[in-house]
Amino acid sequence: MPPRVLFFLLICSVPLSLGFGLMNGSLPLAPIEVWYALLGNNEDTATEVLWQLRLPRVLAAFVCGGLLALSGVLLQALLRNPLADPYILGISGGAAVGALAAMLLGAGLATTQLSSFTGASLAIVAVFGLGFRHGERNIYRLLLTGVVLSAGCGALISLLLTLAQGEQVKGMLFWLMGDLSHSQGLPFAWFVLLAVGLCATVLSGGLDVLAGGLDKAAALGVAVGRWQAGLYFAAAVLTVTALQLGGSIGFVGLMIPHAIRLLGVSAHRWLIPSSTLLGGSFLVLADTLARMVWSPMQLPVGILTALLGVPVLLWLLSRRS
Amino acid sequence: MQAFNNPVLEAHKLTVAIGGKMICRELDIVIRPGECWGVLGQNGVGKTTLLRTMAGLHTPQAGMVSLNGVALAAHARRSLAQHMGVLLQNEGGEFWGSVQEYVLLGRFPHRASLFGYNAQDEALAQQALAQMELEGLAQRPHNSLSGGERQRVAIAQVLAQRAQCYLLDEPLQHLDLRHQAQTMQVFSHLKEQGCALMMVLHDTLWAQRCCDHVLLQFADGHALHGTAQELLTRAHLEALYQCPLRELSVEGERWFVAGV
């Protein structure tokens, strides 16, 4: 598919997915009701639900999906590994240990957030400090350091789950599988997404070169070390912001960039904005379904991202061959 | 005329080691415009490392390399890439786009705008594809190419760079006989245009035909360099490759075949 066409279709998908998210939930609204409620002229339940609950929720889902997909694109370019996703470098592991430890100690939402942020930051610094060597053309050390740290965090997560009491475990599982019901810091997340997304699109030519091999990139005039450090921290900021919004929602960061590539778009100039839009729309869709299918109970959105994404991606993969 | 003959690429007392192995010791070479240097040596003597050092991709132990009289370290990476094209033996990257997009990356150091390549870049990429007789492959996905095609595409990318000097690591690897000849013709043409070339070769015949200078790299870290005429002899090559050679003379060309 030509990149422009795909990009246009993805732009069109944004109002559709947002509209779908606004209409559905435990109180279904018709499109016209959503429209009137958005105008906010009357003071009825619909207006209240829409402005207080649904709008922040769909905006959180969209930005979170965009953050994860963009982070995935940047990490796949940095690590030049198709299996790279926002969680591969142990950032989510650190965040999860922080969040779960706070939950175990009975901390409130704010403290949990702070604690997960601290955990993620420690992981980012540790992986970079131990795994990154300036001027080293081999990025495996960074990748392996991240994977090792993730494994360590996995053990700590299991330990914390074992120590937790009945009701705590459920909250922890929701955090681990991703859940957008307690989203905070929405304006900041949008700022991060737009700022990093814009910078990455402007610098996308260098990413194309970098993806072709590090020595080649250096020979073509890219300051490889600086780019690597920049990409690492950009992806880390995106990931941490997404984790703060919705916990560790899986699948989006790994698969959305591949879905765009399988549709025939690989130049970063198009891959970055397209992945961001698709990630956002996709997560809004998944989150809305997570609220709908078991209504009034809400499922962790991470379950839906995988259940929806896996068949689509398998279809795309088999179609190519 | 004076300026035309100023050295393009120079090594001053260059000492290179990698992993504790000495690659070269206090090497001094001067490559001028229109010269083509062949680097020959056994597997593992460090031809690639020497070439990478000349390209500024590997830091020497001592001494320095300079481009147009200025040390490589004093050049910004981008300005270096505007003057120097490097063909690597193994790029180690996976490129997801088409052949044309891949060749266009050769224009990256010359890009006028952050937002993309202009019509001139596209035209030069197209020209490079034509030089390597690759027009038919332009729209193919890069990762669907055969080894030989991939090599020709990589050469086309370097050509699109329109550099002043070219460092080529085994440019003929994976190429069939016709494309070996065609590629060497392209390099000869660059030489005539006044570019400086340095290439790692294993085929002494091509070294004779295209290189005016050769650098013979020996396993103990010492090197011999001089004109191709005086160094490409049976005695030197037998010492270099540590094996007996037979010399055949065909139409005035010397062929060296490994004897048993």
Assess whether pLDDT exceeds 80 at residue A222.
yes
A81-140, pLDDT tens digit by residue?
878 888 888 999 999 999 999 999 988 888 999 999 999 999 999 999 998 877 676 788
CA separation for the pair B9, A167 (Å, rounded):
71
Contact between residue A139 and residue A228 where contact means Cβ atoms under 8 Å apart: yes
Measure CA B100 to chain center: 22
CB pair distance less than 8 Å for A223 and B77: yes
Q: Would you call B92 and A222 a contact, using CB atoms and an 8 Å cutoff?
A: no
Peptide bond into A296 cis (omega under 30): yes
Whether B95 and A211 lie within 8 Å, measured CB to CB: yes
CB B80 within 8 A of CB A221: yes
Which stretches of chain A sit within 8 Å of chain B by CB?
Answer: 80, 82, 135, 137, 202-203, 205-206, 208-209, 211-216, 218-223, 261, 266-267, 269
Chain A neighbors of B80, CB-CB under 8 A: 221
In the sheet with B9-18, reading across from the earlier edge strand, the strands are B21-31, B9-18, B62-67, B70-71
Give all domains of chain A, ordered by start, each with its CATH number.
Answer: 3-320 (1.10.3470.10)
Q: Which amino acid type is present at position A175?
A: W
CA distance B129 to chain A (A): 18
Neighbour-count burial of A213, counting CB atoms closer than 10 A to its CB (0-12 exposed, 13-18 middle, 19+ buried): buried
Distances A72 to A69, A141, B169 between C-alpha atoms, Å: 5, 19, 34
| Residue whose tokens read 């192995």 | B21
Residue A134, pLDDT score: 72
Question: Amino acid identity, residue B249?
Answer: S
Mean pLDDT of A176-200: 91
Q: Which pLDDT belongs to residue B260?
A: 64
Residues from chain A that touch B101, judged by Cβ atoms under 8 A, are 208, 266-267
Per CATH, the architecture of B3-258 is what?
3-Layer(aba) Sandwich (3.40)
pLDDT by position in tens, chain B (length 260): 345 689 999 999 999 999 889 999 999 999 999 999 999 999 999 999 999 999 999 999 999 999 999 999 999 999 999 999 999 998 776 788 899 999 999 999 999 887 789 999 999 999 999 999 999 999 999 989 999 999 999 999 999 999 999 999 999 999 999 999 999 999 999 999 999 999 999 999 999 999 999 999 998 889 999 999 999 999 999 999 999 999 998 888 888 998 76
Q: Taking a C-beta distance cutoff of 8 angstroms, is the pair A111, A279 a contact?
A: no
**Hey, where are the domains in chain B?**
3-258
A280: closest CA of chain B, how far (Å): 23
| Radius of gyration for chain B, computed over Cα atoms and rounded to the nearest angstrom | 18
**B161 with A220: Cβ contact below 8 A:** yes
SS3 category, B4: helix
Residue B2: per-residue pLDDT: 43
Could you tell me if A186 and A129 are in contact, meaning their C-beta atoms sit under 8 angstroms apart?
no
* Cα A54 to Cα A47: distance, rounded to the nearest angstrom: 10
**CA–CA separation, B15 vs A303, rounded Å?**
58
Distance (Å, rounded) from C-alpha A121 to C-alpha A202?
27
Which residue in A190, A82, A132, A30 sits closest to B143, CA to CA?
A82
Cα B234 from Cα B193, distance rounded (Å) = 32
Nearest to B77 among A137, A212, A218 (CB): A218
Of A202, A212, A221, the CB nearest to B114: A202
DSSP letters for B141-172: BGGG--HHHHHHHHHHHHHHT--SEEEEESTT
Residues of B in contact with A213 (CB under 8 A): 88, 91-93
Residue A122 φ/ψ region, left for φ over 0, alpha for ψ in the -120 to 50 degree band, beta for the rest: alpha
d(CA A173, CA B118): 51
Instruction: Report how far residue B236's alpha carbon sits from residue B238's, in angstroms, rounded to the nearest whole number.
Output: 6
What residues in B contact A261, CB-CB < 8 Å? Answer: 96
Nearest CA-CA partner of B243 in B259, B224, B225 = B259
* Higher-confidence position of B83 and A264: B83
Residue A183 has pLDDT above 80, yes or no: no
Q: Is the CB of residue A275 less than 8 Å from the CB of residue A257?
A: yes
Q: What would the pLDDT profile of A37-48 be if each residue is shown by its tens digit?
A: 888 777 788 888
What is the interface pTM, i.e. ipTM, of the complex? 0.90
The phi-psi region of residue A298 (left if phi > 0; otherwise alpha if psi is between -120 and 50; otherwise beta) is: beta
Chain A: closest CA distance from residue B246 (Å): 38
User: Which phi and psi angles does B228 have, rounded to 5°?
Assistant: -60, -40
